[in-house]
Chains A and B, each alone.
Chain A
Amino acid sequence: QQPVQSPQAVILREGEDAVINCSSSKALYSVHWYRQKHGEAPVFLMILLKGGEQKGHEKISASFNEKKQQSSLYLTASQLSYSGTYFCGTESCPDSNYQLIWGAGTKLIIKP
Chain B
Amino acid sequence: DADVTQTPRNRITKTGKRIMLECSQTKGHDRMYWYRQDPGLGLRLIYYSFDVKDINKGEISDGYSVSRQAQAKFSLSLESAIPNQTALYFCATGGTGSYTGELFFGEGSRLTVL
Task: Give A residues with C-beta under 8 Å from B.
Answer: 2, 30, 32, 34, 40-44, 47, 87, 89, 97-105
Write out the residue numbers on chain B whose beta carbons fall within 8 Å of the beta carbon of A87: 42-43
Establish whether residues A98 and B94, one from each chain, have CB atoms under 8 Å apart when the complex forms: yes
Task: Give B residues with C-beta under 8 Å from A.
Answer: 4, 31, 40-45, 48, 50, 56, 58-59, 90, 94, 99-108
Establish whether residues B44 and A102, one from each chain, have CB atoms under 8 Å apart when the complex forms: yes
- Say how far A74's CB is from chain B's closest CB, in angstroms: 20
> Can you list the 6 inter-chain pairs with the closest CB atoms, starting with the nearest?
A41-B105, A102-B42, A102-B43, A44-B102, A104-B42, A47-B101
Establish whether residues A47 and B100, one from each chain, have CB atoms under 8 Å apart when the complex forms: yes
Establish whether residues B44 and A98, one from each chain, have CB atoms under 8 Å apart when the complex forms: no
Write out the residue numbers on chain A whose beta carbons fall within 8 Å of the beta carbon of B40: 104-105
Establish whether residues A47 and B102, one from each chain, have CB atoms under 8 Å apart when the complex forms: yes
Give Cα A71 to B76, complex, Å.
Answer: 32
Write out the residue numbers on chain A whose beta carbons fall within 8 Å of the beta carbon of B94: 98
Known A47-B100, A98-B31; judge A40-B42 contact (CB<8 A): no
Find A41's partner among B31, B90, B100 (CB 8 Å cutoff): B90
Establish whether residues A103 and B108, one from each chain, have CB atoms under 8 Å apart when the complex forms: no
Q: Could you give 15 example pairs across A and B, Cβ below 8 Å?
A: A41-B90, A41-B105, A41-B108, A42-B90, A42-B103, A42-B105, A44-B103, A87-B42, A97-B48, A97-B50, A98-B99, A98-B103, A99-B45, A104-B41, A105-B42
Establish whether residues B43 and A42, one from each chain, have CB atoms under 8 Å apart when the complex forms: yes
Establish whether residues A98 and B42, one from each chain, have CB atoms under 8 Å apart when the complex forms: no
Establish whether residues B107 and A41, one from each chain, have CB atoms under 8 Å apart when the complex forms: yes
